[in-house]
Amino acid sequence: MTFNTVSFLVQVGVLILALALLHKPLGVYMTGVFTGTTNARPERLFYRLAGVDADADQKWSIYLRSVLVFSAVSILVVFGLQRLQGVLPGNNGLAGVDPWVAMNTAISFVTNTNWQTYVPEATVGIVVQMCLLAVQNFLSAAVGVVVVLALIRGITRTRTDRLGNFWVDLARTSFRLLLPLAVLAAVTMVLGGVVQNFWATDVVNQATGVQQSIPGGPVASQEAIKILGTNGGGYFNANSAHPFENPSVFISLFQVFLLLLIPSALPYTYGRMVGDQRQGYTIAAVMGTLWLASTVLMGWGVAAAQGSATAAAGGLGEGFEQRFGGAPSAIYAAATTLTSTGAVNVAHDSLPPLAGGTAMLNMMLGEVAPGGTGSGLYGMLILAIIAVFIAGLMVGRTPEFLGKRIGPREMKLAAMYILVTPALVLALTGLTVLVPEQVANAPSSGPHKFSEILYAFTSGANNNGSAFGGITTSGPYLSALLGVAMLLGRFLPIVLVLALAGSLAQQRRIPQSSGTVPTHGWLFGSLLLAVTVILTALSYFPALALGPLAEGLIR
Amino acid sequence: MNTFLGYLRQAGTAVRFLALATLVLGLLYPISVFGLGQVLAPAQANGSILKDPAGHPAASALIAQTSADDQGAQDPKWFHARPSAVKWDPASSSASNLGPNDPNLTKNIEAARKTVAAAEGTDPARVPADAVTASGSGLDPSISVAYARLQVPRVAAAHRLSDGDLLALIQRNTTSGLEAFLGQPSVNVTTLNLDLAAR
């Protein structure tokens, strides 16, 4: 397996070019979707049937309650119908899903994690995939977007306790933004070889005598939103390494483009909505710098091809697909962990140690470069508030962010946000390594055993969903603990963001003065970059040293 | 009490919203994509199925197809695919998920190297990495050009063909141009063996 550096650089360049060309039209389009005031006739019908008062403007607490109630109902429905799979139509002969697995999967898809503790081919039929899991791919992505939308409204609105209408935001994001893009993406994928039918095909090779049942299913439609909504739950167990999910290197590159598309255009929308494009570009520049640095680091980690087993093979190969090779696998592995996607076109467990470590580091950054749909931007805005606070300490002034005072309440909310995921990851990993029976679920030896457990909780609490797949998580203990990590890792930050949005919206706007720290430009961008990296390093470095860094030193 | 009623009312809205969204996103959307796929690209949408000269479906161009015994030893008459963690069974898919320093993986790789070297009658040092490592999906249809060429003498003898004939077949089933540049030159063993059978 080769690592072609020129090809790597060309592909990175193509991605940058494509995203740069599209961020503005998509950003403008999204602004229209989010700020539109009229509803089309089918939307009015939808609201009437759903019992939504489309004109209501919700307080932050009601907005939050809607997020939580909708997500709770979704979890219960996805859990319950998986349990009933045996009596549902379209189950492909599969029985009801094991309760622990069903619970973990329901939480996983509603929290936009899409951690797959189940083996799809042996666990879920067409209807569960299509009507439960793929639907949550849309809705969980949309929830991420509406939360950042509420935060932006909190910044732009003054002296109000209203943040908008959750149901209308959710419907518009799903139907006006995600659905049309998903149709385009899905059709492109079918043209590229991704399957979209509802049956398996029996084939017989008369010459060799081999008989196979070639699987089918609504793969392209699920694949499109899996990537576009930074979800990552594959139709097949091997995810985007499976030839039917990712048939060629062209589709592989297209998938990386798609998963960066919405998160990298949202900063432009943010800039437009706050009325200062420089704000958006500064955020986008920080995201882009981190993405580029991390992708290069991943490329270097893959190309270095460390590891005793890798050396025994004479190079990369284990877990890689021949049609991709080194460069496309590295680009994919970086993008999927920098967003909250977790789709994989190479088995992360078998990646060379420093590449596997980079995947973990990417998630530990909080998935902000450019992050999940919506969640990446709200994560970055929280970091911007922390950066403003630190700058305020340096110049000895009360920090302000876009004309809003960052007082003790706002700062407490932002600080708690930053602490949630490291606390979850480190506490749950620490707890698990103390239980010998659970450590046995990670089959490796040496530091890689620790890496597998650390990766699982990092991925769960950050709602990524990729895995060091050697670990078995279908038992009650890890199903439940990862379920807790996914739930708290998703909804505690959302509670804090919406509380912050509510508190910002109530303030009046402070006029800019000579003492205001500007939140755009090189200086602030560099500060934001430094804050992001330093916070991550301080939180996770010891854990990384015990896992992937130790592995990288093994000869 | 008011809060409780508020929650209840919102739960009702959530259930109705979810049901309606499922109609659109869970049924209308995938069925529309299915319809578009069947019109625009039926071959791809149905799994890139290839037919034999008699017109019967024989394989998917995208999925590994190899004749192997219960121990996983592949039929010496045909070109071999890469090792698979799922024995090339398309009803499942998986990588080995063994770590880069895993002693068991090293053992597997060393054993595979011996097997391949013996099967091809060559020096173990000449066996390329893709021949001894399990793919990410377990269904990888492709191998490196080096591994395909390594297999030529064995397959040529079994089919009474010249090495040159086989090298031409390999060439025909190798990715080229932009595809090979973005990825790497790869030989599709599934289509290669079908071409070989059709001769």
Instruction: Give pLDDT tens digits for A434-450.
Output: 999 889 988 888 899 99
Kindly identify which residue of chain B lies nearest to residue A134, measuring between CA atoms: B26
Contacts of B186 in chain A (CB under 8 A): 322-323, 325
Residue A514 banded pLDDT, cuts 50, 70, 90 = confident
Kindly identify which residue of chain A lies nearest to residue B81, measuring between CA atoms: A322
CB proximity list for B175: less than 8 A, separation 6 or greater: A323, B142, B183, B185, B186, B188
pTM: 0.97
Share of chain A above pLDDT 90, in %: 94
Give yes or no for A253 touching B (CB within 8 A). Answer: yes
At residue B15, the pLDDT reads 98
Give yes or no for B5 touching A (CB within 8 A). Answer: no
Residues B64, B14, single domain; the answer is no
Is the pLDDT at A214 greater than 80? The verdict is yes
When pLDDT is averaged across residues A212-231 and rounded to a whole number, the result is 97
Residue A522 banded pLDDT, cuts 50, 70, 90 = very high
At residue A269, the pLDDT reads 98
Give yes or no for B36 touching A (CB within 8 A). Answer: yes
Contacts of B191 in chain A (CB under 8 A): none
Segment 461-520 of chain A within 8 Å of chain B by CB: 468-470
Tens-place pLDDT, residues B131-152: 999 999 999 999 999 999 999 9
At residue B72, the pLDDT reads 85
At residue A396, the pLDDT reads 86
Domain boundary assignment for chain A = 375-553
Interface test with B, best of A214, A219, A223, A455 (most B CBs within 10 A): A214
The angle subtended at Cα A196 by Cα A190 and Cα A197, nearest 5°, is 150
Write the DSSP symbol of residue B174: B
**Measured between CB atoms, which of B46, B75, B136 is closest to A321?**
B136
Distance set, CA B78 to CA B73, B74, B175 (Å): 12, 8, 20
Q: How many domains does chain B have?
A: 2
**Measured between CB atoms, which of A183, A191, A253 is closest to B40?**
A191
Tens-place pLDDT, residues A46-66: 999 999 999 999 999 999 999
> What is the largest distance, in Å, between two alpha-carbon atoms of chain B?
86
- Closest by alpha carbon to A377, among A40, A60, A150? A150
Interface test with B, best of A47, A66, A208 (most B CBs within 10 A): A208
Contacts of A308 in chain B (CB under 8 A): 100-101, 103, 106
**Measured between CB atoms, which of B105, B139, B182 is closest to A7?**
B182
At residue A516, the pLDDT reads 86
When pLDDT is averaged across residues A429-433 and rounded to a whole number, the result is 96
Residues B69, B92, single domain; the answer is yes
Tens-place pLDDT, residues A378-415: 999 999 999 999 999 988 888 999 999 999 999 999 99
Residue B174 banded pLDDT, cuts 50, 70, 90 = very high
Residue A555 banded pLDDT, cuts 50, 70, 90 = low
Q: CB-side exposure of A389: number of CA atoms within 13 Å?
A: 17
Backbone angles phi, psi at B144, to 5 degrees: -75, 160
- Closest by alpha carbon to A375, among A406, A340, A402? A340
Query: Distance (Å) from the C-alpha of residue B118 to the closest C-alpha of chain A?
Result: 16
Lowest mean pLDDT among A264-278, A485-499, A532-546: A532-546
Tokens of B23: 């109609």
When pLDDT is averaged across residues A254-282 and rounded to a whole number, the result is 97
At residue B4, the pLDDT reads 87
**ipTM for the complex shown:** 0.97
Residues B54, B145, single domain; the answer is yes
**Mean pLDDT estimate for chain A:** 96
Segment 443-462 of chain A within 8 Å of chain B by CB: 444-446, 448, 451-452
Interface test with A, best of B3, B5, B8, B13 (most A CBs within 10 A): B13
Residue B2 banded pLDDT, cuts 50, 70, 90 = confident
**Measured between CB atoms, which of A7, A52, A344 is closest to B181?**
A7
Residues B38, B90, single domain; the answer is no
Residues B111, B69, single domain; the answer is yes
**Measured between CB atoms, which of B33, B137, B194 is closest to A196?**
B33
When pLDDT is averaged across residues A29-36 and rounded to a whole number, the result is 96
At residue A398, the pLDDT reads 85
Residues B13, B54, single domain; the answer is no
Residue B1 banded pLDDT, cuts 50, 70, 90 = low
Q: How many CB pairs lie under 8 A apart between chains A and B? A: 377
Rg of chain B over all Cα atoms, to the nearest angstrom: 24
Query: Distance (Å) from the C-alpha of residue B157 to the closest C-alpha of chain A?
Result: 17
Is the pLDDT at B166 greater than 90? The verdict is yes
Residue A417 banded pLDDT, cuts 50, 70, 90 = very high
Kindly identify which residue of chain A lies nearest to residue B68, measuring between CA atoms: A210
At residue A515, the pLDDT reads 80
Cα dihedral B77/B79/B83/B86 (nearest 10): -80
At residue A1, the pLDDT reads 85
Segment 271-310 of chain A within 8 Å of chain B by CB: 306-310
Give yes or no for A328 touching B (CB within 8 A). Answer: yes
At residue A23, the pLDDT reads 97
Tens-place pLDDT, residues A78-134: 999 999 999 999 999 999 999 999 999 999 999 999 999 999 999 999 999 999 999
Query: Distance (Å) from the C-alpha of residue B154 to the closest C-alpha of chain A?
Result: 16
Residues B139, B121, single domain; the answer is yes
Contact state of B21 with A350 under an 8 Å Cβ cutoff: no
When pLDDT is averaged across residues A502-514 and rounded to a whole number, the result is 93
Interface test with A, best of B130, B186, B188 (most A CBs within 10 A): B130
Domain membership of residue B15 as a residue range: 2-44
**Measured between CB atoms, which of A186, A207, A249 is closest to B179?**
A249
Residues B40, B68, single domain; the answer is no
Contact state of A11 with B182 under an 8 Å Cβ cutoff: yes
Give yes or no for B34 touching A (CB within 8 A). Answer: yes
At residue A395, the pLDDT reads 86
Distance set, CA B13 to CA A73, A80, B7, B57, B138 (Å): 10, 18, 10, 49, 44
Question: Helices in A405-520 by DSSP H: which ranges?
Answer: 408-433, 436-439, 447-461, 476-506
Contacts of A186 in chain B (CB under 8 A): 33
Tens-place pLDDT, residues A289-343: 999 999 999 999 999 999 999 999 999 999 999 999 999 999 999 999 999 999 9
At residue B199, the pLDDT reads 84
Tokens of A350: 């078998």
Give yes or no for B170 touching A (CB within 8 A). Answer: no
Contacts of A452 in chain B (CB under 8 A): 99
Give yes or no for A222 touching B (CB within 8 A). Answer: yes
* Residues B21/A167, Cβ–Cβ less than 8 Å: no
Residues B23, B113, single domain; the answer is no
Q: What is the DSSP string of A500-538?
A: HHHHHHHSPPPPP-TTPPPSSHHHHHHHHHHHHHHHHHH
**A434 in helix, strand or coil?**
coil
Give yes or no for B48 touching A (CB within 8 A). Answer: yes
Segment 102-161 of chain B within 8 Å of chain A by CB: 102-103, 105-106, 109-110, 113, 127-130, 132-144
**Measured between CB atoms, which of B18, B44, B56 is closest to A204?**
B56
Lowest mean pLDDT among A548-552, B58-62, B161-165: A548-552
Cα dihedral A477/A481/A486/A487 (nearest 10): 110
Give yes or no for A1 touching B (CB within 8 A). Answer: yes
